[in-house]
């Protein structure tokens, strides 16, 4: 049984990500949690202080959210009538990041799937603010799906690494489990620096190689260049359907949260982006 959180703000971007998740797991027995979090404007100051107002507006918001969630559930069931899939709707008066983390812990969720853009649909934003907050908060993997990505099974997954990651602290088992489920080939990409690998990096690489023994994979060593440039160039030569990275301080993801625009980051990936948590 696979348990997945599907956040929604009832935008088409959110529905696109939900549809992607359903197609991705069409052959698996799943419980999907359709989650919507809301903070009515009149409540926001009081709510931040821990004392929501007493006008009953939260109840109205909850009713509207539950009604919209039920419409979303029926729409998904009508499009994809998959007997192995169960849908549970969940509305809460909370911030999205906090509510998703709460549901994830309570329901033993495997991963989260959400759109990369919010309702504004700003083209220059790689990750909308909600997605960024969820990734920052989440202790489980998050799969961010671009709104303009047409579903393709992830036959090839690109996994860039500098080998500075202690893979015992990364949720690598999730990536390996699901790449086997999808019969994916993992492309391990490393940008070679003039100094080569230090002892820790060598040990991390050996450990990674041992984890991949039963996995369809290939190692790629690229000449010295910026990581983002290498990712972009790799995708031109080898089409991939998913990008996966570990959320640690050595990845560009840290910069992404500070400068969340493509023009600043220069990452031109148009495929779903899997972010694996890291225990610091």
In tens, the pLDDT along 1-17 reads 999 999 999 999 899 99
Residues in the chain: 280
Yes or no: is domain 156-270 CATH 3.40.50.620?
A: yes
- Which pLDDT value is given to residue 123? 44
For the entire predicted model, the pTM comes to 0.86
**Average pLDDT for residues 223-250, to the nearest whole number?**
84
Q: Comparing 2-145 with 156-270, is the CATH topology the same?
A: yes
- Which pLDDT value is given to residue 109? 97
151 or 169: whose pLDDT is higher? 151
Task: Tell me the per-residue pLDDT of 56-100, one tens digit each, with 9 for 90 and over.
Answer: 556 788 899 999 999 999 999 999 989 999 999 999 999 898 999
Task: Calculate the CA dihedral of residues 273, 178, 8, 87 and round it to 10 degrees.
Answer: 170
Determine the topology of domain 2-145 in CATH.
Answer: Rossmann fold (3.40.50)
Query: Could you write out the DSSP letters of every residue in the chain?
Result: -EEEEEE--SSHHHHHHHHHHHHHTTTS-EEEEEEEEE--GGGHHHHHTT---SSSHHHHHHHHHHHHHHHHHHHHHHH---TTEEEEEEEEES-HHHHHHHHHHHTT--EEEEESS-TT--TTBSS-HHHHHHHHH-SS-EEEE-TTPPP---SEEEEE--S-S-TTTBTHHHHHHHHHHTTPEEEEEEEPPTT---HHHHHHHHHHHHHTTTS-EEEEEEPS--HHHHHHHHHHHS--SEEEEE-STTSTHHHHHHS-BHHHH-----S-EEEE-B--
Q: How confident is the model at residue 169 (pLDDT cuts 50, 70, 90)?
A: confident
- Which pLDDT value is given to residue 260? 45
Q: Tell me the C-alpha distance between 113 and 122, whole Å.
A: 20
Q: Tell me the C-alpha distance between 169 and 276, whole Å.
A: 10
Task: Tell me the per-residue pLDDT of 18-31, one tens digit each, with 9 for 90 and over.
Answer: 999 999 999 999 99
Task: Tell me the per-residue pLDDT of 201-226, one tens digit each, with 9 for 90 and over.
Answer: 999 999 999 999 999 999 999 998 87
Q: Tell me the C-alpha distance between 262 and 125, whole Å.
A: 7
Q: What average pLDDT does the structure give for the chain? A: 84
**Average pLDDT for residues 161-171, to the nearest whole number?**
86
- Which pLDDT value is given to residue 135? 81
Q: Where are the domains of the chain?
A: 2-145, 156-270
- Which pLDDT value is given to residue 250? 55
Among 116-125, 158-167, 254-263, the range with the most confident prediction by mean pLDDT is 158-167
Kindly state the percentage of the chain with pLDDT values over 90.
52
- Which pLDDT value is given to residue 38? 87
Q: How confident is the model at residue 130 (pLDDT cuts 50, 70, 90)?
A: confident
Task: Determine contact, residues 136/249, Cβ cutoff 8 Å.
Answer: no
Q: How confident is the model at residue 124 (pLDDT cuts 50, 70, 90)?
A: very low
The pairing of beta strand 30-38 with beta strand 85-93:
parallel
């Amino acid at each position: 049984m696979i348990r997945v959180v599907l956040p929604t703000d009832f935008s088409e971007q959110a529905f696109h990500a939900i549809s992607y998740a359903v197609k991705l797991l069409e052959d698996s027995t799943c419980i999907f949690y359709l989650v919507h979090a809301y903070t009515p404007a009149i409540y926001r100051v009081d709510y931040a202080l821990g004392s929501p107002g007493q006008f009953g507006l939260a109840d109205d918001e909850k009713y509207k959210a539950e009604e919209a969630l039920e419409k979303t559930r029926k729409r998904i069931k009508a499009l994809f009538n998959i007997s192995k899939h169960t849908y549970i709707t969940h509305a809460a008066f909370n911030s999205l990041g906090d509510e998703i983390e709460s549901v994830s812990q309570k329901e033993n969720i495997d991963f989260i799937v959400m759109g990369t853009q919010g309702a504004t649909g700003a083209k220059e934003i790689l990750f909308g603010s909600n997605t960024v907050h969820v990734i920052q908060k989440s202790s489980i993997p998050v799969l961010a799906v671009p709104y303009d990505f047409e579903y393709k099974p992830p036959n090839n997954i690109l996994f860039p690494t500098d080998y500075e990651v202690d893979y015992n602290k990364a949720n690598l088992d999730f990536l390996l489990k699901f790449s086997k489920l999808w019969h994916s080939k993992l492309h391990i990409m490393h940008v070679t620096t003039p100094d080569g690998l230090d002892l820790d990096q060598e040990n991390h690489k050996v450990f990674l190689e041992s984890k991949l023994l039963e996995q369809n994979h290939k190692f790629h060593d690229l000449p010295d260049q910026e990581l983002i440039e290498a990712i972009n160039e790799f995708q031109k030569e080898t089409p991939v359907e998913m990008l996966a990275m570990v959320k640690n301080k050595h990845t560009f993801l840290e910069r992404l949260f500070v400068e969340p625009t493509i023009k600043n980051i220069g990452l031109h990936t148009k495929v779903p982006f899997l972010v694996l948590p890291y225990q610091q």
